Amino acid sequence: MPELPEVEITRLSFASRIQGARTTGVRVGKPLRWPIGCDPQHLLSQSVGEVVRRGKYLWLPLESGGLLLHLGMSGSLSFAANVGEPGRHDHFDLSTTKGTLRLTDPRRFGAVVWSPSMHSGPAAKLLCGLGLEPFDAEFDGAYLKSALRSRSGPIKQALLSGAIVVGAGNIYACEALFEAGIDPRTRSSKLSLARCERLAAAVRRTLARALDLGGSTLRDFRDAHGIAGEFQLHAQVYGREHEPCARCSAPIRRIVQGQRASYFCGRCQRR
């Protein structure tokens, strides 16, 4: 599933090229996760503003409202002057004077939803439950400690929920917990302020590295240029079951939490 780094990399790969373009055509294919919510003709002859990201959503503003896009489990966006004829998994095209933005999604869990603004209508409802952005100044140890105080579940699950901080998807949560020296099974409310400070810093550093490396390509992620990410090639624990820990040489362990695989070092990461 594309996470925050992959979505941000996607945004950066086409945002500056589409900004200022004027929409000239819309093609809606098979139904996605939610209906688009407007007559596609309403999207025509409108100028495109600055594309922004919130969590794993992209907001593409138009003169009248805008489109909230989500890549779902397997979606990707491409933007080119000539995208060719749509294939069986190409479910949405927005043609503009600078090129066509195409959403390709084999599983169709992605979405393109019209909203009157990012802060009202369907967009507001979809975004209202999101936690802080990891690079916000407010995301620090004190905030994390306060947000975890009433949570009795494992810290890995708290990170994945997106209600405290967005962007710490499975691979990044595993890597950040390893960097912070915290066992993924640790009860969230038991983390001290010092450990929360280490974890907040580790989440930021992990996601920053992922952005530098173009995100992770575990299956089929590509940015709007068609370029794969490389973070997975530098993972310390994720996908490395039984391999030696880079710090202590103990074998990396794998367990399942909430139907997701967690990788960690039982010697370096403590409860």
Band the pLDDT of 139: cuts 50, 70, 90.
very high
Identified catalytic residue from 17, 56, 102, 108: 56
The CATH number assigned to the domain holding 235 equals 1.10.8.50
Domain end: 127, 156, 190, which one? 127
Can you give the pLDDT at residue 2?
A: 78
Which tens digits make up the pLDDT trace of 87-135? 999 999 999 999 999 999 999 999 999 999 999 999 999 999 999 999 9
Per-residue pLDDT of 19-53, as tens digits, reads 999 999 999 999 999 999 999 999 999 999 999 99
Catalytic residue among 22, 33, 54, 260: 260
Tell me what pLDDT residue 231 has: 76
Share of the chain above pLDDT 90, in %: 85
Least confident piece of the model among 145-149, 224-228, 258-262: 224-228
Tell whether 132 is covered by a domain. Answer: no
- The active-site residue, picked from 3, 6, 8, 179, is 3
- Maximal CA-CA distance, the chain: 60
Residues 6+ apart with CB under 8 A from 31: 108
What pLDDT, on a 0 to 100 scale, did the predictor assign at position 224?
43
pLDDT tens by residue, 201-250: 999 999 999 988 877 644 444 444 444 556 777 899 999 999 999 999 99
**Are 109 and 74 contacting, i.e. CB atoms less than 8 angstroms apart?**
yes
Who contacts 121 (Cβ-Cβ below 8 Å, separation ≥6)?
65, 115
Q: Which domain holds residue 63?
A: 4-127
User: Is 31 annotated as catalytic?
Assistant: no
Mean local confidence (pLDDT), 174-190? 98
Q: Is residue 73 part of a domain?
A: yes
**Mean pLDDT, rounded, of the chain:** 92
CATH code for the domain of 90: 3.20.190.10
**Domain presence at residue 20:** yes
Closest CA to 112 of 64, 58, 55, 154: 58
Residues 9 and 59 in one domain: yes
CA 180 → CA 37, 78, 153, distances in Å? Answer: 43, 36, 18
Residue 233, pLDDT score: 79
The H or E element that residue 34 is part of is: none
45 falls within a domain: yes
Within-domain flag for 92: yes
Answer whether residue 134 is part of any domain.
no
Residue 260 is a catalytic residue: yes
Question: SS3 for 100-119, per residue?
Answer: EEEEECCCCCCEEEEECECC
Instruction: Over range 238-263, report the average pLDDT.
Output: 96
Residue 3 appears among annotated catalytic residues: yes
110: nearest Cα among 56, 71, 53: 71
8 assigned to active site: no
Per the rule left: phi > 0, alpha: psi between -120 and 50, beta: everything else, 22 is beta
Q: Does residue 32 fall inside a structural domain?
A: yes
Same domain, 105 and 69: yes
pLDDT digits (tens, 9 = 90+) for 186-203: 999 999 999 999 999 999
C-alpha 75/C-alpha 88 separation (Å) is: 13
